[in-house]
């Protein structure tokens, strides 16, 4: 396990992650996965509750080429990069093969439904327990009904696309009430799977320039890209030389 800017990152490859997920699904207990990227770690520096949640998950996978840089600078080893999009495809493939049901929560209007439809086309045996895109209010007034709906669906897996840190805080807040086996924050994954937002070609992701592709295709994300490519490296270098 590595630790970058005070947050644990599991040193795993894709096969090991899927083996852990398969084991989680065999037990009637709540398990939480976070797909940690540089933005998570920057946010965690000013949001202690979020940092504590990340350090209490069952599995943190490294999503973002910046984490490789962070591990190198801090003289640690890091597992392979595992994106939330790729992991969602594989989780749904496993669910289809083993008969587990999946609940899709959040995302842009219509994105969860489109993503579920595409996943069903790829994996016809996939069981969709429910799809909802509710407005999660600041006071949490609607949340009890959402939790009841999820539990009544008898879902095994819950994918939550509310954006970080909102999705992780939501899951942590209700971890003792949710009757599911596996929960994962999905960020913008539904949008990518649905085709609402273009996903960078594999060769661009492989050479670590996905951020540049996103800058050209989604210029409104420039603040997030700045956080990941400028602020995060600065914090890593600063941390390295303060030791």
Q: How far is it between the farthest Cα atoms of the chain?
A: 53
Pick the residue with more confidence: 104 or 238? 104
Helical pair 232-242 and 38-46, crossing angle rounded to 10 deg = 60
Residue 223 covered by a domain: no
Residue 199 covered by a domain: no
Per-residue pLDDT, 13: 93
**For residues 128-135, average pLDDT:** 86
Q: What are the E-state strand segments in 57-214?
A: 59-62, 101-106, 127-132, 157-161, 182-185
Residue 204 covered by a domain: no
CATH number (domain holding residue 125): 3.40.50
Total domains, the chain: 1
Supply the range of the domain harboring residue 70: 2-139+149-193+232-242
Per-residue pLDDT, 139: 47
Residue 208 covered by a domain: no
Q: Is the pTM of this model over 0.85?
A: yes
The string of DSSP letters for 10-54 reads: ----HHHHHHHHHHHTTSSS--EEEEE-HHHHHHHHH-HHHHHHH
Asked if residue 12 lies in contact with residue 87, where contact means CB atoms within 8 angstroms, the answer is: no
DSSP-derived letter for residue 198 is P
Residue 156 covered by a domain: yes
Residue 144 covered by a domain: no
User: 54-92: per-residue pLDDT in tens?
Assistant: 999 999 999 978 888 888 888 888 888 899 999 999 999
Q: How many residues in the chain?
A: 243
Residue 55 covered by a domain: yes
Residue 217 covered by a domain: no
User: 166-222: per-residue pLDDT in tens?
Assistant: 999 999 999 999 999 999 999 889 988 988 776 666 766 666 667 665 666 767 765
Pick the residue with more confidence: 137 or 40? 40
């Amino acid at each position: 396990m590595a630790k970058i800017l005070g947050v644990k990152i599991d040193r795993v490859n894709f096969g090991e992650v899927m083996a852990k997920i398969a084991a989680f699904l065999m037990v009637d207990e709540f398990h939480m996965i976070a797909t940690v990227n540089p933005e998570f770690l920057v946010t965690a520096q000013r949001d202690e509750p979020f940092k504590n949640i990340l350090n209490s998950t069952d599995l943190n996978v490294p999503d973002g080429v910046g984490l490789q840089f962070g591990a190198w600078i801090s003289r640690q080893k890091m597992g392979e990069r595992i994106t939330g999009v790729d992991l969602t495809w594989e989780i749904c493939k496993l669910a289809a093969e083993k008969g587990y049901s999946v609940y899709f929560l959040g995302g842009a209007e219509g994105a969860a439904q489109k993503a579920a439809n595409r996943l069903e086309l790829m994996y016809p045996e996939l069981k969709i327990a429910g799809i909802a895109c509710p407005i999660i209010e600041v006071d949490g007034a609607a949340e009890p009904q959402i939790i009841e709906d999820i539990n009544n669906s008898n879902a095994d897996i819950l994918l939550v696309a509310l954006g970080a840190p909102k999705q992780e805080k939501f899951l942590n807040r209700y971890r003792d009430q949710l009757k599911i086996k596996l929960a994962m924050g999905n960020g913008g994954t539904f949008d990518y799977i649905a085709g609402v937002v273009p996903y960078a070609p594999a060769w661009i992701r492989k050479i670590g320039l996905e951020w540049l592709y996103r800058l050209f295709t989604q210029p409104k994300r420039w603040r997030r890209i700045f956080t990941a490519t400028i602020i995060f490296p600065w914090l890593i270098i600063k941390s390295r030389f303060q030791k």
